[in-house]
Amino acid sequence: MKKLVSLLFHRVVLVAFFLLIQVAVLVVMLLRFNNYFLPFYGVCVAISLFAVFWIVGRQSDPAYKIAWIIPILVFPIFGGLFYLLFGGNRLSSRTRRKMEGTDRKMEEVLRPDYKADELSSLGEDAVHQARYLEHIAHCPVYGNTETEYYPLGELCFTRMVEELKRAERYIFVEYFIIEEGKMWDTILDILKDKAQEGVDVRVMYDDIGSMFTMPRDYARELEARTGIKCCVFNPFVPILSLRLNNRDHRKIMVIDGKVAFTGGINLADEYINEKVKYGHWKDSAIQVRGEAAWSMTVMFLTLWDYVREKATEDYDAFRPPELPEIQAPGFVQPYTDNPLDCEAVGQAVYLNLINKARRYVYITTPYLIVDDSTNTALCIAAKSGVDVRIMTPHIPDKRVVFELTRSHYQPLLEAGVKIYEYTPGFVHAKNFAVDDKYGTVGSINLDYRSLFLHFENGVWLCNDPSIRDIRADFLSTLEQCQSVTLAQCRALPWWRKAVRAVLRVFAPLM
């Protein structure tokens, strides 16, 4: 009986219940308008036409526009109203001011570190990419930094534990998903001990990402019980609203401003293969040690202050003392992507990597839901003789999304792109390696939500030794993959092709 009561009052059940009530109210309101059908229909059509013209005039991805225009024209009564609720990144003036303040703070604190021109010896391509991230994302490029690439989540977890135990001043933790289990419990025990020692420990997680893994009041209880400062990003309110789309998908752990981790892994047991969900979980991460860790510290602090509504925190108090000289040959540039500033930084980084490739581009991604720009870039690179290879999962975590990923195979294969599926399980890594010269590791998937709707982060690498480690990991993992052929795609039954065609049209809305 207790389990039944607990289930009935579970947060997810209550949220679904309140959303259903809102939908029911909308339906009842529409039915009550039956007596005024013609004028009501006319108003709805006018709203839908206005929405279509508004969509066409907006600066957004063409596929995103098409995905909205079709349902609006097919269902003019509901389409326009639905778009007004969910169709764009409209911000209240208060939210806009807060986000602008965050950007200003990033620029104010990190501008003294800008040094893109120091990459001139590596060519203009490197300078232009570094300069873009400095001027647009306010994220400097750093030397005096070394990196360590982890081809599996469990390897990164081991190093995380070692570094957390060395913390002396502060620990900042920001993840999309946190779930109780071996991974989080081990980390939490260290965080508790460090908080008792006087270390400033802060934890932030996304409310939607952790809705099924954490109790509703977990953040408040953790802070009250342990002294660990904890907050939830964009708390889910059961009201039909566009704000539901903007999630904190970043993965950041910073220790004393000297060491930082990021990549694909969240703080849950499937990411270290302690729990099997979709076969073997193939993920990756990277450790940044040295000057570049400060940039990730500021990334965390600006979003933390945005959530906690703090505007007076002294960031200089967190700046690490002068770091010892690190004999690292390359450059490291952590970067972040904000979905509310109309600048798709993650997509720009990926497109730049593809367009600048001369010999090879190796891509690992859990979701291959590419927009027209990325599809064109990949096809042109392959047709130009660049060795373009993409690795995706063979065992899906979401069936519809997996079918959508496969729907993008054929045009790429026809252009000469090679595609491989990881047969032991699910690939969750988000990596690029290009020509042994450029690379990136981070949280950004190749899908619309990650590229246009989520808060994301990554690390751009130039001439860094970890690029060769990413390439070596990709090539060794190919031994456990099966190659996807053009003949397989063409041999699909017509109805399967039709389903995939429909999915591709509506991909930006998924």
User: Which active-site residues does the annotation give?
Assistant: 249, 251, 256, 428, 430, 435
Pair of tokens at residue 487: 């003949």
Provide the 8-state DSSP code for 197.
T
H/E/C letters for each residue in 353-400? HHHHCCCEEEEECCCECCCHHHHHHHHHHHHCCCEEEEEEECCCCCHH
Pair of tokens at residue 476: 């060794």
Tell me the torsion sign for CA atoms 89, 129, 470, 479.
Answer: positive
The CA distance from 174 to 392, in Å, is 26
- CB of 333 within 8 A of CB of 133? yes
CA distances in angstroms from 187 to 161, 183, 267, 297, 500, listed in the order given: 7, 6, 9, 19, 42
C-alpha of 322 from chain center: 32
Q: Comparing C-alpha atoms, which of 178, 146, 177, 347 is closest to residue 258?
A: 146
Q: Comparing C-alpha atoms, which of 166, 508, 461 is closest to residue 288?
A: 461
Q: Comparing C-alpha atoms, which of 210, 279, 240 is closest to residue 87?
A: 240
The secondary structure of 464-482 as a DSSP string is -THHHHHHHHHHHHGGGEE
CA distances in angstroms from 183 to 53, 180, 213, 262, listed in the order given: 50, 8, 13, 16
The residue type found at 78 is: F
Phi and psi at residue 290, in whole multiples of 5°? 125, -150
Pair of tokens at residue 471: 């390439």
CA distances in angstroms from 163 to 157, 166, 171, 228, 256, listed in the order given: 10, 5, 10, 18, 10
**Helical (H) or strand (E) element with 496:** helix 494-505
